[in-house]
């Protein structure tokens, strides 16, 4: 079967097929992560990213190249999670920039789009590393360019591109020693190839299920179905949702004016805007008025009105008070006088949240290693903080890039990403903030403060592997430091002490231990006592962290 061009409808179907193939194989991709920790990472993040876009793409009733491209680009950017998800979103962003004005995709256009995708993704990463998803994407783009003169048949060309992509992927362990040592290929590259192979099924004319039933809405903007209400307290009876397809980007004054209008006719308002769309949720008694006002900014799509008095259910009732309190607190923050500096931290665990709040954090984004927040999650947090300069502490290597990408969507505030890779680094950064200093000086001060902290995270291995010459067996306790494995053993307390010992030196003055949700206070205090005995010249402090996955998060400074 020869295929000379890809229509918008075929692109729509191919994207959905690629997304579903990734979702079906995400656990396998998770298992390719170098560090065998029990946290589901690359496959999960890439799946949530692409499914955010797939929901948008699948909702298009009359596809053309422009609206499919916009849905892919906007949906994946807002849903982007983790480094792999952000890079995937940037590949889509570059690709769709090249095709959105076309009527169809030929081999030549495909080649240009692949190269634009790689160029955009490489620009998004501050220090691109070869042997990753970027290398696999670059290899396929180079192959696409080579094949332009060879054939016009997209089935043949894409098939050859995929073959070459698989070859480049197989070579990633030779480019990154850590992959070779662990005996795996790059997980992000595997995810990209999984998407490509799912999409290729459509080009080959294979039968594919395009339904998106049961797909998680997480990362596709606000999880609007989870806004809780209680029947007895329903003041506004209609849950109204819609998307405005903007005629032109909203000015800051227009966006603020529209929000004020929504507040005048209802409550429980969630509004997320970029240059092309505005996603709106409001509880109101006049849904028609909301639609009429919205039409002044552009056309409407995905309109939905539910009678909440009829459709309430037990889960919503039980959680209404908590949600209302959160919304009230968020609204109160917005209504406070605008201040010079605000702070956001990513944290997971009740104790860690309280530590950050005590240090002056305005808004906590719940997330971390077990669930990286999306770009849209970060954007909503930024919206809650009424400040000119907002410092965000990602506290995880895999969240920094998503935080950086959020800058694209922020207009009226300066978002400053302090690149904290761990919880202890984030705490140190906050302690390094000096009131009265400029944002630039404080950024430098916070980054400098992080350099004095060493972090150790204690968890268990979910599979056998070899890392840093350490043979690790499934179920082993691992201490993971800033630069690799600190210690491996079978006993939790002993391995934790060995991990901390690997960080302590003659300049160390403080050991901090944050115990997780599986550790009792009694066991944590026993550990602290043993640490104090082993390191009598170093002060030891123990705190309840409440974090999942990691038995202990420790720091030495």
Within a 10 A sphere around the Cβ of 476, how many other Cβ atoms? Answer: 19
Q: Residue 336 contacts by C-beta under 8 Å, 6 or more apart in sequence?
A: 386
Q: Residue 146 contacts by C-beta under 8 Å, 6 or more apart in sequence?
A: none
- pLDDT tens digit at each of 557 positions of the chain: 789 999 999 999 999 999 999 999 998 998 887 766 655 578 989 999 999 999 999 999 999 999 999 999 999 988 898 889 999 999 999 999 999 999 999 999 999 999 999 999 998 887 888 999 999 999 999 999 999 999 999 999 999 999 999 999 999 999 988 888 888 899 999 999 999 999 999 999 998 887 775 443 333 333 333 333 344 455 777 888 898 999 998 888 898 899 899 989 988 787 777 788 888 888 899 999 999 999 999 999 888 888 766 655 544 455 555 566 666 666 666 667 889 999 999 998 999 999 999 999 999 998 866 578 999 999 999 999 999 999 999 999 989 999 999 998 888 899 999 999 999 999 999 999 999 999 999 999 999 999 999 999 999 988 888 887 888 998 999 999 999 899 999 999 999 999 999 999 999 999 999 999 999 999 999 999 999 999 999 999 999 999 988 999 999 99
How far is residue 377's CA from residue 375's CA, in Å, rounded to a whole number? Answer: 5
How far is residue 280's CA from residue 262's CA, in Å, rounded to a whole number? Answer: 9
Q: Which two tokens stand for residue 492?
A: 């939790």
User: How many CA atoms does the CB half-sphere of 273 hold within 13 Å?
Assistant: 24
Strand order in the sheet with 414-417: 363-366, 339-347, 387-393, 414-417
How far is residue 313's CA from residue 320's CA, in Å, rounded to a whole number? Answer: 11
How far is residue 150's CA from residue 143's CA, in Å, rounded to a whole number? Answer: 11
Among 387, 379, 442, residue whose Cα is nearest residue 413: 387
Within a 10 A sphere around the Cβ of 412, how many other Cβ atoms? Answer: 11
Within a 10 A sphere around the Cβ of 557, how many other Cβ atoms? Answer: 20
Q: What are the angstrom distances between the C-alpha of 100 and each of 67, 138, 242, 485?
A: 8, 21, 24, 46
């Amino acid at each position: 079967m020869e295929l000379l061009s890809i229509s918008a409808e075929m692109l729509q179907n191919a994207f959905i097929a690629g997304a579903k193939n990734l979702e079906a194989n995400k656990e396998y991709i998770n298992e390719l992560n170098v560090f065998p920790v029990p946290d589901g990472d690359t496959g999960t993040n890439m799946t949530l990213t692409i499914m955010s876009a797939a929901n948008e793409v699948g909702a298009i009733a009359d596809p053309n190249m422009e609206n499919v491209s916009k849905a892919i680009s906007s949906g994946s950017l807002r849903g982007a999670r983790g480094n792999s998800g952000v890079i995937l979103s940037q590949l889509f962003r570059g690709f769709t920039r090249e095709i959105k004005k076309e009527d169809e995709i030929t081999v030549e256009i495909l080649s240009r789009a692949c190269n634009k995708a790689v160029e955009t993704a490489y620009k998004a990463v501050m220090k691109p590393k070869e042997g990753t998803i970027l290398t696999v994407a670059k290899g396929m783009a180079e192959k696409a360019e080579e094949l332009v003169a060879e054939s016009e048949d997209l089935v043949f060309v894409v098939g050859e591109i995929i073959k070459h992509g698989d070859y480049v992927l197989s070579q990633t362990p030779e480019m990154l020693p850590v992959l070779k040592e662990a005996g795996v290929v790059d997980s992000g590259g595997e995810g990209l190839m999984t998407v490509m192979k799912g999409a290729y099924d459509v080009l080959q004319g294979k039968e594919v299920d395009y339904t998106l039933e049961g797909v998680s809405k997480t990362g596709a903007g606000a999880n609007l179905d989870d806004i809780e209400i209680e029947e007895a307290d329903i003041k506004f009876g209609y849950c109204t949702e819609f998307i405005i397809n903007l005629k032109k980007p909203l000015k800051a004054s227009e966006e603020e004016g529209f929000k004020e209008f929504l507040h005048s006719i209802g409550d429980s308002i969630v509004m997320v805007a970029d240059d092309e769309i505005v996603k709106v949720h409001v509880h109101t008694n006049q849904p028609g008025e909301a639609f009429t006002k919205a039409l002044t900014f552009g056309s409407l799509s995905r309109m939905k009105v539910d009678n909440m008095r009829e459709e309430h259910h037990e889960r919503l009732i039980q959680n209404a008070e908590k949600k209302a309190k959160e919304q009230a607190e968020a609204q109160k923050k917005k209504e406070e006088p605008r201040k010079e500096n605000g702070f956001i931290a990513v944290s997971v665990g009740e104790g860690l949240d309280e530590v950050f709040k005590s240090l002056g954090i305005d808004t906590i984004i719940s997330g971390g290693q077990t669930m990286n927040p999306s770009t849209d999650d970060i954007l909503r947090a930024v919206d809650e903080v009424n400040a000119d300069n907002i410092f965000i502490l990602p506290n995880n290597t895999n969240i920094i890039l998503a935080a950086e990408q959020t800058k694209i969507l922020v207009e009226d505030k300066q978002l400053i990403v302090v690149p904290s890779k761990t919880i202890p680094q984030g705490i140190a950064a906050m302690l390094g903030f000096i009131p009265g200093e400029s944002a630039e000086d404080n950024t430098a001060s916070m980054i400098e403060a992080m350099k004095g902290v060493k972090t150790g995270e204690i968890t268990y291995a979910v599979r056998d592997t070899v890392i840093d010459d350490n043979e690790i067996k499934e179920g082993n306790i691992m201490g993971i430091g800033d630069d690799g494995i600190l210690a491996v053993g079978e006993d939790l307390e002993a391995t934790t002490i060995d991990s901390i010992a690997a960080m302590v030196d003659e300049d160390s003055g403080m050991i901090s231990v944050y115990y997780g949700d599986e550790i009792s206070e009694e066991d944590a205090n026993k550990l602290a006592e043993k640490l104090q005995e082993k390191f009598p010249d170093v002060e030891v402090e123990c705190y309840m962290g409440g974090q999942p996955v990691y038995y202990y998060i420790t720091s030495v400074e």
